[in-house]
């Protein structure tokens, strides 16, 4: 497990990263901790095999909740819970899922509050039709993994920052326009909008093709 630090001088948060482990052998796990990295929540899951994995936190999951992950359908449905890691072929129609894995890396429905929905199964070809958060319909193999449930922080799309300084906690720093600066600080300073072409603070051409 690697510990990295987010940008910024006022506050520094720890973010945990884990190597891509084998998705086929995890067994039973327990949610031991919930961490936050900018707008996204992640849950630290410790499995019975000794592996510790950081997955996207699923809406409704609590600390201490047991998570069952298996490739066997009868074991999965007898321990039905959100945040379980399952194969796409074992889901039911119109199931809510997130974090679809491609080559052991989650690539679809990873952001906070997003989810996918299963539309149709093609049992003859072992394919599953899924609608993505962007309303795009995509077909995945039935042997692909996903996490059951919707990503947490579902109200993040209604967040209104209020002022530019409040975005510092999410890793975004406010910028000052060049024309609003003094001539000694920027080539566009002093309200000189007639400078062509537009350049950066170091005098490099910023919009060459426009």
> Cα(130)–Cα(7) distance, rounded to whole angstroms?
36
Query: What topology does CATH give the domain 2-148?
Result: SH3 type barrels. (2.30.30)
| pLDDT per position as a tens digit, 24-79 | 555 677 888 888 777 788 888 887 777 788 878 888 888 888 777 665 655 555 55
Question: pTM of the entire structure?
Answer: 0.67
| pLDDT per position as a tens digit, 79-127 | 567 777 788 888 888 888 988 888 877 788 888 889 999 999 998 888 9
Q: Nearest-5° angle of CA 74, CA 77, CA 82?
A: 145
Q: Nearest-5° angle of CA 13, CA 81, CA 99?
A: 50
Q: Nearest-5° angle of CA 154, CA 150, CA 153?
A: 25
Cβ neighbours, 10 Å, residue 139: 12
- Say whether 175-210 and 2-148 share the same fold: no
| pLDDT per position as a tens digit, 132-183 | 999 999 999 888 888 888 888 888 888 887 777 777 777 777 788 888 889 8
Domain range annotation of the chain: 2-148, 175-210
Query: What topology does CATH give the domain 175-210?
Result: Ribosomal protein L2; domain 3 (4.10.950)
> Cα(115)–Cα(152) distance, rounded to whole angstroms?
10
φ, ψ at 31 (rounded to 5°): -80, 115
């Amino acid at each position: 497990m690697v510990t990295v630090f987010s940008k910024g001088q006022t506050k520094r948060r720890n973010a945990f990263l884990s190597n891509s482990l084998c998705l086929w052998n995890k067994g039973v796990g327990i949610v031991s901790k919930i961490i936050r990295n900018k707008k996204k929540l992640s849950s630290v899951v410790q499995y019975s095999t000794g592996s510790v994995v950081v997955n996207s936190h699923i809406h409704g999951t609590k600390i201490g909740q047991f998570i069952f992950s298996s490739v066997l359908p009868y074991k999965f449905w007898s321990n039905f819970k959100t945040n379980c890691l399952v194969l796409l072929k074992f889901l039911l129609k119109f199931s809510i899922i997130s974090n679809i894995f491609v080559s052991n890396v989650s690539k679809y429905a990873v952001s906070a509050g997003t989810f996918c929905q299963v539309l149709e199964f093609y049992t003859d070809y072992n394919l599953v039709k899924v609608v993505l958060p962007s309303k795009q319909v995509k077909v995945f193999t039935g042997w692909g993994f996903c996490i059951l449930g919707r990503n947490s922080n579902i109200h993040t799309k209604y967040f209104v920052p209020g002022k530019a300084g409040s975005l510092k906690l999410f890793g975004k720093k406010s910028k000052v326009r060049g024309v609003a600066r003094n001539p000694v600080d920027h080539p566009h300073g002093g309200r000189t909008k007639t400078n062509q072409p537009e350049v950066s603070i170091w005098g490099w051409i910023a919009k060459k093709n426009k």
